[in-house]
Amino acid sequence: MSLQYLEEWEVVHDEAVWQLAWTRHGVVAARASGELDVIDVGEARIRQTLRDVHDIGIVSLSCSANDALLLTSSMDGRVALWQWDDSESLQPIAQTPSVRGQVVDGEPVRAEAWTTVLHPDGTSFAAAGEGALVVLYSAAPESFGQALGRLPADGLEPGAYALTLEFNREGDLLAMGTNTGSVYVWDMASHALLLSISEHAEPVRTLSFAAPDTSYADHLFIGSDDRTTTVHDVQAIRRQFHGHAITALQGHKGWILDVQAGGDGRIVATCSSDATVRLWDLGASPVACVSSISLDRPVWCVAWCPREAPTSQAPEVSTRLLAPGTRFVASGDDGVVRLYRNAGTSST
């Protein structure tokens, strides 16, 4: 299969996109205006726009493992839960204007939720901000936003604050990236801090875990303002052996703003404030950048086509055209959502 990717379509909008998710129901774009757009992939158009929940930029967007639920949070600390209805429309089902002030383990939560992530099972979410203290909250609609507990903070650096949170797909690990460049990984069964990873001297704005049941499943990706993405062995982290990088993806000339592995995990997409998307082949020796896409404005986010993504094509064609790893979307400051397909596949 070719490792080159070609632009297939674009959906134009004038508000910057800060977060993307490609779900089985469509692509969701979270904008700096606070709007959420649902994009129909087959028709390359915005199918739904939601404006009534967030009044300011959406900084976090995450999904449950089955794509039934989405969690968003904005710069003002508001957190919202969304669900797809029978007509494939996204609807808000719970929200809280702030998590600040709740008492957890005898102490009040002093910081707004600067970053959030939904647990893959959809029952809870994690939030963190100033002080880098991670608190777990209920995601059940009837008790949404009620604090469930705090993760141990031993070893957190003074002055640290959280920039990004990410669960692995199984939901038994949680990683947090901070302004100091350190990454912390907790075991969610015991709530124990497994390791702190200090491979970066500048802020870590993006984290992602490779999907399970793939050839490259045991990888944690860490992207930093130092223009480097490091790749880490999840099994070594689980066993508390080490958090050292097993390889590094270098070539961007700006901050790393997002990193996502597609398909079987071999091809990794990174995007940057340098206005490029780069694609990396983890199966190459040495690991190499195999494609670079240049745009005019910083690129904030990428999202790969998931398994079982819908399409208007016949079933036998759908499997071939929308196989995981053959397509991704990217967007950023220019507000345009672009879909890229592998050069070895046909256009839809």
Domain ranges of the chain: 5-99+110-309+321-342
Please tell me the least confidently modeled range out of 76-80, 98-102, 111-115, 340-344.
340-344
Q: State yes or no: pLDDT of 75 exceeds 50.
A: yes
62: pLDDT strictly greater than 70: yes
Please write the tens of the pLDDT for every residue from 252-299: 999 999 999 998 899 999 999 999 999 999 999 999 999 999 999 999
CB atoms within 10 A of CB 19: 23
Q: What is the pLDDT of residues 151-163, one digit of tens each?
A: 998 889 889 999 9
Start-to-end Cα distance in the chain: 18
**Mean pLDDT value across residues 154-178:** 95
Strand order in the sheet with 45-50: 17-23, 26-31, 36-40, 45-50
Output the pLDDT for position 348. 56
CATH topology assigned to domain 5-99+110-309+321-342: Methylamine Dehydrogenase; Chain H (2.130.10)
Q: With CA atoms as reference, report the closest residue to 109 among 61, 157, 149, 167.
A: 149
Q: What is the mean pLDDT of the chain?
A: 93
What tens digit of pLDDT does each residue of 189-211 get? 999 999 999 999 999 999 999 98
Contacting residues for 96 by C-beta, under 8 A, at least 6 apart: 78, 79, 144, 145
Mean pLDDT calculated for residue range 81-105? 95
In the three-class reduction of DSSP (H, G, I as helix; E, B as strand; rest coil), residue 5 is classed as strand
DSSP for residue 192: -
Question: What does the CA dihedral 157, 158, 163, 169 come to, rounded to 10 degrees?
Answer: 30
Answer whether 72's CB lies under 8 Å from 87's CB.
no
Under a CB-based contact definition with an 8 Å cutoff, are residues 127 and 102 in contact?
no
pLDDT score of 188 more than 80? yes
Structure confidence by residue, pLDDT tens digits, 223-241? 999 999 999 999 999 999 9
pLDDT band, residue 107 (cuts 50/70/90): confident
| Residue 313: per-residue pLDDT | 44
Q: Are 40 and 329 in contact (CB under 8 A)?
A: no
pLDDT at residue number 215 = 82
Q: Say if residues 316 and 274 touch (Cβ distance below 8 Å).
A: no
> Before 306, cis peptide (omega within 30)?
no
Statement: residue 320 has pLDDT above 50: no
Query: What number of residues does the chain have?
Result: 348
- pLDDT per position as a tens digit, 23-56: 999 999 999 999 999 999 999 999 999 999 999 9
| Radius of gyration of the CA atoms of the chain, in A | 19
